[in-house]
Structure 1
Amino acid sequence: MIANPSAKYAPFAPIALADRQWPSRTITQAPLWLSTDLRDGNQALFEPMNAERKMSLFKELVRIGFKQIEVGFPAASQTDFDFVRKLIEDKLIPDDVTIMVMTQSREDLIARTVEAVKGSPRAIVHLYNATASAWRRIVFGMSVQQVMGLIGHHVGYLKQLTDAQPDTRWTLQYSPETFSATELEVSLEACHTAINAWGAGPGREVIINLPTTVENATANVFADQIEWMHRHLVPREHIVLSVHPHNDRGTGVAAAEFAMMAGADRVEGCLFGNGERCGNVDIVTLALNLYTQGVHPQLDFSDINAVARVAEECTSIPVHPRHPYAGDLVFTAFSGSHQDAIKKGFAAQDPNGLWEVPYLPIDPADLGRTYDSVIRVNSQSGKGGIAFLLERERGVVMPRRMQVEFSAVVQRQTDASETEINGEDIWALFRQTYLRGSSTGSDAIQYHGHTLDGSGQGIELDLSIQGVRQRLSGQGNGPIAATVDALGLPMRVDSYEERATGSGADAQALAIVEAALEGVAGSGFGVGMSHNIVTASIQAVISVANRLQERRQARGAGGSAEVNAEVGA
């Protein structure tokens, strides 16, 4: 690091806005949301999503409640072009959802983009160009007047093409791509050039999107920029003022919140902040920040674990365990003083009153999470040691979320016995908790055997259910799915892992299933062990089914928070 950064870096000049109003405003409603996970988020991936993963994420975004989704850059990628055409031709876009596509300001790319979305009932075409001084001077060698000519020409060309397709309701979104580094007067002129070329007015609104293409100043500076534009844009009543914050300084969420206070109507971003460089604004965090202030975000994150698992599967980017709201450890208190305050908070909490539990800014149950934090041991004396002993002595390697779940079980045991727990005791407790559904025992569902059909997609199970021996049949794309189908429970399998315990002829297969059951908060784990991996997998499904059903019954019988805390993080 150089000794004198002022010789190399200049602070961003403040905005002349002495009568700024945004600092005294309160956010009272959710913005319009635009998910750009399939475009900006996708192009930021080391390995971009294939069509199958893009479709999976699109369906999840629809389920969450996004009404505007940027689905790709069809002029730049045949994969994106084909994906957009499939959405339209297979009528996969719900009536209340509008897709958006992006294009640079080039006639051939604009024409290809319009070709991609023709036939859609509604479409937003996102046109952009760089406007900042450094880009004008270094990248393009253009004057301000030349930039304005480019904007007017290409918006006019887009209007010509879209006017020829009257069966689609077209909306222009224009972005001065480097807004956060552009002189405000130049940004305003660029936006007005686009607005006038499009002919914005009654029944023909335009979206003006102002991005922090590179976050280069504190969040309050961006808010000043937005309030200045909000005051000067005309015809403001026919303009949707949108922001697209990036996170280069780590303040993307704050910038978005300040921008909403400053007049922004709409926010673009990605689930969990995926995007170029340090990412886009994190819509999960931003939306749930609103929720904790009593503002409904109009997005459904009531099963945050499921959202995280879909995003991880589609992007191959794990959600950090300390990620706000969604991380596996964010509702886990390791500190004894934190645990004590949380326990007292739960005891004092009025179920019909405002949420007021120390150290928990949101009720985990609202996100489909459980109260495992109040019964966790700390990393020094609990979770780490438990995982180490099981792996060293038994060859059992638990997934991280399962470690969180099982440490709560161990903590209850140590609290009750008030004695040190050793490796043998931990293994006995593991078997009692997870190796469920054997032919001996008191579980509701007991496994005796199974038969697979020749295709491997059908199964017949030999079970005892509530002590009654019976045979059940099911179909699926493998033994796990077929077993779930045979059981007939509203159960969703979220993850599956298989491992070997030991080596050689005596090694056994260990199968671990994470699943969720309708009507039960959070998820839970089940385990099967056998010399045959298929048998172990079936036993793991039965194990988690028994555990989740016990939890549902305990809740229905008015079970305590401590009982309810056993099933997953």
Structure 2
Amino acid sequence: MISNPSDKYVPFAPFNRDFSERTWPSKRITHPPIWMSTDLRDGNQSLIEPMSVERKLRFFEQLIKIGFKEIEVGFPSASQTDFDFVRKLVDEKRIPDDVTIIALTQSREDLIQRTVESAAGAKRAIIHLYNACAPAFRKIVFGMSKEEIKEIALSGTRTVMAEMAKHPETEWRYEYSPEVFSTTEPEFALDVCNAVTEIWKPTPDRKIIYNLPATIEATTPNMYADQIEFMHRNLNERHSIVLSLHPHNDRGTAVAAAELGVMAGADRIEGCLFGNGERTGNVDIVTLALNLYTQGIHPGLDFSDIDEVRRCVEYCNQLPVHPRHPYAGDLVFTAFSGSHQDAIKKGFAQQQPDAIWEVPYLPIDPADLGRSYDAVIRVNSQSGKGGVSYLLEQEHGLVLPRRLQIEFSRAIQRVTDETGSEVTSSQVYDIFAKEYLDIEKPWKLVRHRITGDPKAGAGQQFVIEVELEENGEVRHLEGRGDGAISAFVNALDADVRIMDYTEHAIGTGADTRAASYVELRVGDSPSGYGVGVHGDIVTASFLAILSAVNRHAALLGAEALAA
């Protein structure tokens, strides 16, 4: 990089003066735009290996399923494959009656003829003509004056009209793009479009489409919005015009430019699913549509199975969708950070069905996109108690008390720090089981029998006979208490105090099991938890006590159990 970039690059200024007439900053988007997918044209021509007919057909059918009513299906004059594909759609009657196909062409008579020929016979079709109007293209690429550039647009429009007239069986519409509008003088773009209007003579029932592409994203989205509002305010016969946007993403702000452009008066957006396209891509229609959805506006497109859409696009484009892609990426509903996990877990716990969505960190309910909650929280070395406990609850029905969440998260932290890797949900449970459920030394419960004596004095009402295996040897113990748990603790004859006890059911019906969580202290040592799971709630509580005692013994030595 050079030390002074201003020696080489100058800020782009679309207007010779300040555009003070803008009103778009105070506007809000209240309804979706008309959507046009250009995946099969602009998206396809950007691929290292363009789509085969089979892949294009699959993509086309997916676009129909999503709900697109306008689909740019190819560049028929540029490729025999594209021409044959468009004819296949028409001849095999694959186009629904409410869907309009679009074919792109440059402004040359033979290319226009070929393009119209490709779409002839379709119920509805749009011929999309473009020619570059920007100063750099006039000077460097074509060596033409403004008048010569404008004449290309006008002669092309006349030819389109003449060719359409040869095929009255199709309901034709026309789209014109002053290509590289983003760096064209707005006054010149307006002059060209108004001249095209005089030739086409659109009406409210037969609107012309003016597509204003940010072919090269050259400035901030607010300036693009100013350009759009200038056109919106000054185009002749505006009531007979569909004003369309085609933002590219050279500066990484195509989504913002499209949203501000709609606020500035645009009616329609052209883009690709997940933003595929030349160089840095076209505007991402998935993101735009779901941004609207999160604001309570249905976009008119169906992404209720976003994973299916993503898989289709990845297959057809042979390009992966980034795992952090908004709404659709594998990791976009995933939290590794402990504080994020804790907030999300609490949000899920309080979210009521059919209530206003209010889960921290998640602007959209994953279920609305066909995503499950299973992958929302994943665990690595950055994770905390909330994520760990969430996985245990969702996958295994274990609702850990808060202090146990903290305690167990340290065990997970040890593993992730050692490996440097993520741990899966099943691995979390395996670590939990090893830490709390499978620890049976020094003491293992073999059997027990409880009898009750309601007439006995305080602390004597319950009698328990316990058979334990201690380091391979069987011991028979007996204890009394005012409840089963106190009787069991007394039978152990150790300096053990119960600090907290909780329990809950796992499952329903005949398969119900009980989970017991016991926080206890041995002697003067810090308290620790034990967990027991069993079909019988009393047995589960005894297993939880032994779990805590055995964990303490493992940490500090069996001698610490002495009274």
Task: Tell me which residue corresponds to 2:220.
Answer: 218
Contact 1:376 1:411 in 2 (8 A): no
Distance 1:261 1:331 in 2: 29
Give, in angstroms, the shift of residue 416 of structure 1.
Answer: 6.2
Gaps of 5+ in 1: 384-402, 422-552, 558-569
What's the CA shift string for 1:462-507, capped at 9, x where partnerless?
xxxxxxxxxxxxxxxxxxxxxxxxxxxxxxxxxxxxxxxxxxxxxx
SS in 2 for 1:125: strand
Contact 2:125 2:173 in 1 (8 A): yes
Amino acid in the other structure paired with 2:232: H
Task: Tell me which residue corresponds to 1:28.
Answer: 30
Q: Which runs of 4+ in 1 moved over 6 A?
A: 380-383
Give, in angstroms, the shift of residue 145 of structure 1.
Answer: 0.9
Task: Tell me which residue corresponds to 1:411.
Answer: 428
Amino acid in the other structure paired with 1:33: W
Contact 1:375 1:411 in 2 (8 A): no
Q: Does 1:4 align with 2:4?
A: yes
Task: Tell me which residue corresponds to 2:356.
Answer: 354
What's the CA shift string for 1:98-118, capped at 9, x where partnerless?
000000010110011111111
Task: Tell me which residue corresponds to 2:315.
Answer: 313
Give, in angstroms, the shift of residue 408 of structure 1.
Answer: 2.4
Amino acid in the other structure paired with 2:424: S
What's the CA shift string for 1:537-563, capped at 9, x where partnerless?
xxxxxxxxxxxxxxxx99xx9xxxxxx
User: Over aligned residues, Cα RMSD in angstroms?
Assistant: 2.3
Contact 1:129 1:175 in 2 (8 A): yes
Distance 1:415 1:21 in 2: 59
Task: Tell me which residue corresponds to 1:13.
Answer: 13
Larger Rg: 2
Call closer, same or farther: CA 1:164–1:7 in 2, change over 3 Å: same
Task: Tell me which residue corresponds to 2:503.
Answer: none
Task: Tell me which residue corresponds to 1:331.
Answer: 333
Q: Does 1:266 align with 2:283?
A: no
Call closer, same or farther: CA 1:161–1:415 in 2, change over 3 Å: same
Task: Tell me which residue corresponds to 2:530.
Answer: none
Contact 2:351 2:359 in 1 (8 A): yes
Distance 1:118 1:50 in 2: 22
Distance 1:86 1:299 in 2: 25
- The alignment covers a number of residue pairs equal to 405
Distance 1:288 1:90 in 2: 33
Contact 1:332 1:372 in 2 (8 A): no
Call closer, same or farther: CA 1:203–1:369 in 2, change over 3 Å: same
Q: Please list, as runs of the form range in 1=range in 2, the aligned pairs for 1:467-482 lying within 5 A after superposition.
A: none
SS in 1 for 2:68: coil
What's the CA shift string for 1:20-40, capped at 9, x where partnerless?
111111111111000000000
Give, in angstroms, the shift of residue 153 of structure 1.
Answer: 1.1
SS in 2 for 1:86: helix
SS in 2 for 1:409: helix
Amino acid in the other structure paired with 1:30: P
Distance 1:56 1:11 in 2: 43
TM-score for the superposition, normalised by structure 1: 0.69
Task: Tell me which residue corresponds to 1:539.
Answer: none
Give, in angstroms, the shift of residue 204 of structure 1.
Answer: 2.1
Q: Does 1:111 align with 2:113?
A: yes
Distance 1:411 1:72 in 2: 50
**Identity between Structure 1 and Structure 2 (%):** 63
Amino acid in the other structure paired with 1:136: R
Task: Tell me which residue corresponds to 2:368.
Answer: 366
Distance 1:240 1:14 in 2: 22
Contact 1:176 1:209 in 2 (8 A): yes
Gaps of 5+ in 2: 388-420, 439-506, 512-563
Q: Does 1:187 align with 2:189?
A: yes
Q: Please list, as runs of the form range in 1=range in 2, the aligned pairs for 1:82-481 lying within 5 A after superposition.
A: 82-373=84-375, 375-378=377-380, 407-415=424-432, 418=435
Call closer, same or farther: CA 1:255–1:264 in 2, change over 3 Å: same
Distance 2:364 2:426 in 1: 24
Contact 2:338 2:383 in 1 (8 A): no
Distance 2:13 2:88 in 1: 47
Amino acid in the other structure paired with 2:219: A
Give, in angstroms, the shift of residue 372 of structure 1.
Answer: 2.3
Contact 1:65 1:300 in 2 (8 A): yes
Amino acid in the other structure paired with 1:6: S
Give, in angstroms, the shift of residue 352 of structure 1.
Answer: 2.4
Call closer, same or farther: CA 1:85–1:52 in 2, change over 3 Å: same
Amino acid in the other structure paired with 1:4: N
SS in 1 for 2:424: helix
Distance 1:415 1:25 in 2: 53
Q: Please list, as runs of the form range in 1=range in 2, the aligned pairs for 1:459-538 lying within 5 A after superposition.
A: none
